[in-house]
């Protein structure tokens, strides 16, 4: 197990956050705004902390981020425990997101799969399913991108291999996307 003292942890997190590519965040915000303006929605999912990140992303859109605006269409596939457990039991845990994607996602949608390793089978399968449907797909991963790197339309990679730092930078990027989305939608 890898260990850092607090100062090293702070430094590693700061370095990973400083390596966020602002142009990449801008591109994702513009694409999300375009999808929403054409009648699409955000659909997000992940496991564990990444599930929490996907729900956080949805909350920022369906509620508000920093500016008052109307609710934006967004859904996290991690919140319906009946669907998750039924699909996991009847098919497998690898299918808990792809089965939902196949029924809830359309061509106009912006689909975000979050996996710190980039290798979570259920996230990979759901991104593949969304691609077949024709949705715009984004993977949020750690430094390697894992299996998602070659599958999603865009892969937002964090310059770290430490799960907690990857998750912290994912939230920073999500907040940045939401900030720019609000500006784009308000015309500022």
pLDDT band at 172 (very low <50, low <70, confident <90, very high): very high
pTM across the whole model: 0.95
Tens digit of each residue's pLDDT (9 = 90 or more) over 58-102: 999 999 999 899 999 999 999 999 999 999 999 999 999 999 999
Residue 1: is its pLDDT beyond 60? no
Residue 115: is its pLDDT beyond 80? yes
* Residues 31/99, Cβ–Cβ less than 8 Å: no
Per-residue pLDDT at 86: 98
pLDDT band at 187 (very low <50, low <70, confident <90, very high): confident
Options 3.90.1150.10, 3.40.50.10490, 3.40.50.1820, 3.40.50.720; CATH of 23-185: 3.40.50.10490
Residue 185, burial from CB neighbour count under 10 angstroms (0-12, 13-18, 19+)? middle
The mean pLDDT of 119-146, rounded to a whole number, is 98
Of residues 83 and 5, more confidently modeled: 83
Neighbours of 147 (CB within 10 A): 20
Tens digit of each residue's pLDDT (9 = 90 or more) over 13-66: 999 999 999 999 999 999 999 999 999 999 999 999 999 999 999 999 999 999
Residue 113 pairs in a beta bridge with 45, 139
* Spatial separation of the C-alpha atoms in residues 21 and 155, rounded to whole Å: 12
Residue extents of the structural domains in the chain: 23-185
pLDDT band at 3 (very low <50, low <70, confident <90, very high): confident
Which of 14, 4, 12, 32 has its CA nearest to residue 154?
32
The mean pLDDT of 136-158, rounded to a whole number, is 97
């Amino acid at each position: 197990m890898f260990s850092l003292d607090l100062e090293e942890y702070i430094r590693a997190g700061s370095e990973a956050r400083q390596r966020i590519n602002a142009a990449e965040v801008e591109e994702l915000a513009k694409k999300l705004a375009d999808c929403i303006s054409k009648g699409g929605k955000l659909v997000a999912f992940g496991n564990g902390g990444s599930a929490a990140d996907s729900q956080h992303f949805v909350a920022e859109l369906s509620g508000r981020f920093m500016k008052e605006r109307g609710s934006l269409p967004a859904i996290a596939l991690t919140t319906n425990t009946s669907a998750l457990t039924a699909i996991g039991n009847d098919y497998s845990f690898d299918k808990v997101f792809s089965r939902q994607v196949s029924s809830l996602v359309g061509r106009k949608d912006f689909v975000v799969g979050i996996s710190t390793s980039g290798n979570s089978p259920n996230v990979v399968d759901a991104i593949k399913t969304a691609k077949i449907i024709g949705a715009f797909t984004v993977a949020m991963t750690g430094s390697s991108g894992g299996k998602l790197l070659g599958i999603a339309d865009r892969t937002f990679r964090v310059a770290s291999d430490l799960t907690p730092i990857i998750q912290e930078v994912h939230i920073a990027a999500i907040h940045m996307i939401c900030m720019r989305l609000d500006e784009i939608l308000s015309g500022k």
